[in-house]
Amino acid sequence: MSEFFASIAGHLNDLTGLQFSIHGYISILLTLLGVVGLYIGLLYLLRLSHRTGHDDAVQDYRDPRYHDPDDGDDAPRGGPHA
């Protein structure tokens, strides 16, 4: 079995011009799979957020232009430094 992996590593070393063992190629493959998985997961969350509308109306209470409709007064809040 180790002869099989050694031949694969030998062919990859000839192809790339590098001198890695099979463990190096396995670690590169797992790293690439992890990065692609993270990319797909973040794109899924971005699409889910866009579809549900969570990123449409961000209400930042620190923004002086922010007005809370539940306050009852008609004037926008000035914030702590206004």
Q: Which tens digit of pLDDT belongs to each residue from 14-53?
A: 888 888 888 888 999 999 999 999 999 999 999 998 888 7
Query: At 3, is the pLDDT very low, low, confident or very high (cuts 50, 70, 90)?
Result: confident
Question: Contact at 8 Å (CB) between 78 and 67?
Answer: no
* Local structure of residue 64 (DSSP, 8 states): T
Whole-Å CA distances, 73 to 12, 28, 69 = 71, 60, 8
The average confidence (pLDDT) of the chain is 79
Q: What is the pLDDT of residue 77?
A: 53
Q: What is the pLDDT of residue 44?
A: 95
Query: Which of 55 and 38 is assigned the larger pLDDT?
Result: 38
The span from the CA of 41 to the CA of 36, in Å, is: 9
Within the chain, residue ranges assigned H as helices are 2-16, 22-52
